[in-house]
Amino acid sequence: MKMTVTNKSPAARPVLTRRGGSAVGDRVFSWWTLGTGLLVLAILGLILITTVREAWPAFDAMGLRFLTERIWDPNPATGDAIFGALSFAYGTAVSSLIALLFAVPVSVGIALFLTELAPRRLRGPAVTVIDLLAAVPSVVFGLWGILVVAPALVPVYQWMHDILGGIPLLGRLFGPVGSGRNFMTAGLILAIMVTPIITSITREVFSTVPRADKDAALALGATRWEMIKGAVLPHSFGGVVGAVMLGLGRAMGETIAVALVIGGATNITANMFAPGNSMAAVIVQQFGESTGTFTAALIGLGVVLFAMTVLINVLARSVVRRAEARMKGSLA
């Protein structure tokens, strides 16, 4: 790269001009980045094509009933096997939603504390602990959940049922309690697992807010909370939603931990204290004993899970774009 001066006055600034080699390098870099981006899309497309092809015998046998049927009976005493993904899709959605209801407020609160309130000497150790929690294997969370958390929560669930069970709508959500292995326990374990992920990304997003914006809000007489609400949160909204979507993807795809604590029942119920199952959990539970169309049906559950994840991410991006446009309009 060659440096030339277009004006000889003292205030003149040097202007950079490109040589041919630099232009070639830029072109190579542009094509390389384009190729890597297309490679990711190609890998996702190949995953989708191969899984759909392997799952086609089950899709062909069940048709749309694969998505709408509640019953999952691969070894019926009489008649043909029935493969319905609806119960498992319901269990995946419910346990993931419970996880987000608990994890998102806690994660955002921790991230705000570390970026805005925590003393400098406390931030380093706190971040290290959060990162270590994210590195704990999921089977450890599952074993802890089934051996410690589930038995300990049974009295709590029973107390909540005694208090809320007589209320018409809440009584359906907090119904009779069986064992501690149920939708609620699975959601709580997932919440603990996804909290470090959401916290780490949200903390990084909050740290990108310009210091000038914060100082300007405080200089105008805003309290710390008003500064966070007016400067930090609007600037970070898209990044926070992205962090939540990553946490949701982890929760929807979790296998061993959920398989150990959700109860293993094919069940659609409003009772959060009832056992159920999720798509990822039933795949890991039954794949080893499956053959033929049974195996294809389990792969089909993976296809449905993939489609649910993509659909949720597309909807989340649409929500983020509309919300950010609304925020910019209100600020203008």
CA angle 294-295-297, nearest 5°? 65
Rg (CA), the chain: 26
Whole-number pLDDT of residue 9: 52
Specify the CATH number for 68-330; select among 1.10.3720.10, 1.10.3470.10, 3.10.150.10, 3.40.50.300. 1.10.3720.10
Contacts of 103 (CB under 8 A, 6+ apart): 190, 191, 192, 194, 195, 198, 247
| Two tokens, residue 251 | 């929760």
Question: How far from chain centre, in Å, is Cα 25?
Answer: 38
In angstroms, how far apart are the furthest CA atoms of the chain? Answer: 95
Would you say how long the chain is, in residues? 332
Query: For the chain, how far is it from start to end, CA to CA, in angstroms?
Result: 42
Question: How far from chain centre, in Å, is Cα 292?
Answer: 32
CA angle 30-34-37, nearest 5°? 145
- Cβ neighbours around 63 below 10 Å, total: 11
Whole-number Å distance between alpha carbons of 81 and 57: 12
Q: What is the 3-state secondary structure (H, E, C) of 263-313?
A: ECCCCCCCCCCCCECCHHHHHHHHHHHCCCHHHHHHHHHHHHHHHHHHHHH
Sign of CA dihedral 220, 222, 227, 231: negative
Whole-number pLDDT of residue 1: 44
Whole-number Å distance between alpha carbons of 215 and 225: 13
Q: Specify the long-range contacts of residues 42-50, CB closer than 8 Å, at least 24 apart.
A: 47/306, 48/303, 48/306
Question: How far from chain centre, in Å, is Cα 263?
Answer: 22
Whole-number Å distance between alpha carbons of 146 and 282: 17
| CB-based contact 292:281 (threshold 8 Å) | no
| CB-based contact 257:190 (threshold 8 Å) | yes
Sign of CA dihedral 214, 220, 224, 225: negative
Helices (H) and strands (E) counted in the chain, each on its own, are 14, 4
User: Which among 93, 94, 122, 97 has a CA at the least distance from the CA of 110?
Assistant: 122
pLDDT string in tens for the chain (332-residue length): 444 544 555 555 555 555 555 788 888 888 999 999 899 999 989 999 999 999 999 998 888 888 888 988 887 766 778 898 999 999 999 999 999 999 999 999 999 999 888 888 888 888 888 888 888 888 999 999 999 999 999 999 999 998 988 888 888 888 888 888 999 999 999 999 999 999 999 999 998 888 888 888 888 888 888 888 888 888 888 888 888 988 998 899 888 999 999 988 888 888 899 999 999 999 998 888 888 889 999 999 999 999 888 888 888 888 777 776 776 655 55
Whole-number Å distance between alpha carbons of 242 and 237: 9
Q: Residue for token digits 């029942």?
A: 265
Whole-number Å distance between alpha carbons of 131 and 147: 24
* Strand intervals (E) in the chain: 2-5, 14-17, 72-73, 82-83
pTM for the full model?
0.84
- Delimit the domains of the chain by residue range: 68-330
Question: How far from chain centre, in Å, is Cα 221?
Answer: 37
